[in-house]
Structure 1
Amino acid sequence: MTRRTVLAGVLAGVLALTTGLALAGCSTGSDEPELKVTGAYLPQPVSDMAAGFLVVQNSGSSADRLTSVTSPLSDDVTIHETKNQQMREVSSFEVPAKGELDLERGGNHIMFMKLKQKPKQGEKVSVELHFEKADPITVDLPVKETTHNPKKQ
């Protein structure tokens, strides 16, 4: 084998590897939602119900939907929207591309019914957020005082 043949083979291999990596980079990024959760908390419940609040940020260029929430705290966890001071259960919430879904006091929220136990301030409640496209995200909601509202501070 000549030196030129070996060099051509090496260059062909490098070119194939580089092309493969470039294509792999293209397929994993831009059309997928990129989700992150911030500001999560759960006010200490005073009954056998509780509400959870958080922000789902999407830095991706594709929207997604929050479709359900599960938690060891309750077998009956739903998502609720609030309109005109009336809340009702919904099947999903949009997480817009380059935007966020804000679940906050007085607005849309996670509802826990028939609590298995009442978590106390300082504890954490684990939840798993399920989405239409993205993989589930597990979040620990710190239990805050009953009146906690970060928007008012």
Structure 2
Amino acid sequence: MLADASEEAIDRMTRGSGVDMVVDQVGGVARKGSLQLLRPLGWMVVMGNASGAPDIDASLSELWLTSRALLGINLQQLSAADPTRVCLTLRAALDQVVSGTGKVDVIGTLPLSEGRSGPPTHRSPRDDRQAGSSGGYEA
């Protein structure tokens, strides 16, 4: 799926059946909406909060009743706890990109002069679109 596709567009593309997985690095309202897009036995992987929005409430009973799963991964903590695993996984991912068996979607590039100082905001300074690798996909 496209990272910037609307919930309605994803619902149309999946004919209302939902997606198998969402990897969310955005947080806030996008996280709540993405959770609702999961089909039964679908997974949401939470890997950040680029929006800086307050956390959302997720009902464990709702997850149970809808047969959905939620997983949080903090790469900084994981790198400190198991650096060998993180290194091997990163190498495998990069090998896929280099060999052409993996795919990286680049939605645009900016000259360094348009970069921002301070922490990254994950937004394009040109049109304020969300950038990065967040979003769901259907297996």
What range describes the TM-score normalised by the shorter chain of this pair? under 0.3
TM-score for both structures, normalised by structure 1: 0.19
Report 1 or 2 for greater relative contact order, CA contacts < 8 Å, sequence distance ≥ 6.
2
More helix by proportion, 1 or 2? 2
For the pair shown, which has the larger CA radius of gyration, 1 or 2?
1
